[in-house]
Amino acid sequence: MKLYLVRHGETEGNSKNIIQGGGTHGILSEKGINQVKKTALELKNKKIDVAYVSDLNRTKQTASELLKYHPNVKIIYDERLREKHFGDFENKKAEEYLRLKEEFVAKGILFVPNGGESPTELELRVKNTINDIIGKNKSKNILIVGHGTYIRYVLCFLLSIDIQTSHPKYSHSNAAFSVIELNKNKKYELKILNYKEHLE
């Protein structure tokens, strides 16, 4: 079994440094569309049995391009794959969020925006969702089209890595992909991490 983890292409919001979490759909920029087309070519000859896609517009757009070469693959849109929710900071410039987060961290306090999702809440959502998807698709190759923070949590969960110390190694660029494989010993191995050479 293999998992192909793909982040959506660049969005208009990404290009303007605007926070787009689980409460913001977003649309791909022209650059983002071109990125995804290149990623689609990279995955063209890979065996994919089923695709799970975040139900936000930016991931739907991405999946549509990726699966043009896999027309018979079943697509399941799943809201549980949405990006971390940033509450009051959704669809706003990232600078203020990062400034406040740094202030809280300096005081040893966890910063969770009003109406937003805490790291613990996201971690639990990721674990439950990925366990469910894998449980329903044993021995299959699964494509997951999602978001930057969410994919980082997936990688850390499957590889048994502390999420709090993983950044930035497991960060994911727009339209980049990672591959995890379940080996003969039933252990997950990271085969490819944040592959983006085709985008450069």
Give the pLDDT confidence score for residue 100 in this predicted structure.
83
Point out the residues that are catalytic: 8, 83
Give the pLDDT confidence score for residue 166 in this predicted structure.
65
What distance lies between CA 199 and its chain's CA centroid?
17
Quick: pLDDT tens for 36-60: 999 999 999 999 999 999 999 999 9
Q: What's the predicted TM-score (pTM) here? A: 0.94
**Residues listed for the chain:** 200
Distance (Å) of CA 107 to CA 102, 103, 104, 121: 9, 7, 5, 22
Six token digits for residue 49: 């049995």
Give the pLDDT confidence score for residue 97 in this predicted structure.
85
User: Domains in the chain, ordered, with CATH?
Assistant: 2-199 (3.40.50.1240)
Give the pLDDT confidence score for residue 106 in this predicted structure.
76
Cβ atoms of residues 20 and 87 within 8 Å? no
Give the pLDDT confidence score for residue 168 in this predicted structure.
73
Give the pLDDT confidence score for residue 165 in this predicted structure.
73
Give the containing element (helix H, strand E) for 65.
Answer: helix 57-66
SS3 call for 192: strand
Give the pLDDT confidence score for residue 29 in this predicted structure.
97
Give the pLDDT confidence score for residue 167 in this predicted structure.
63
Give the pLDDT confidence score for residue 79 in this predicted structure.
98
List per-block mean pLDDT (blocks of 10 residues) for the chain, which spans 200 residues. 98 93 95 98 98 98 97 97 94 87 79 90 96 96 97 94 78 96 94 96
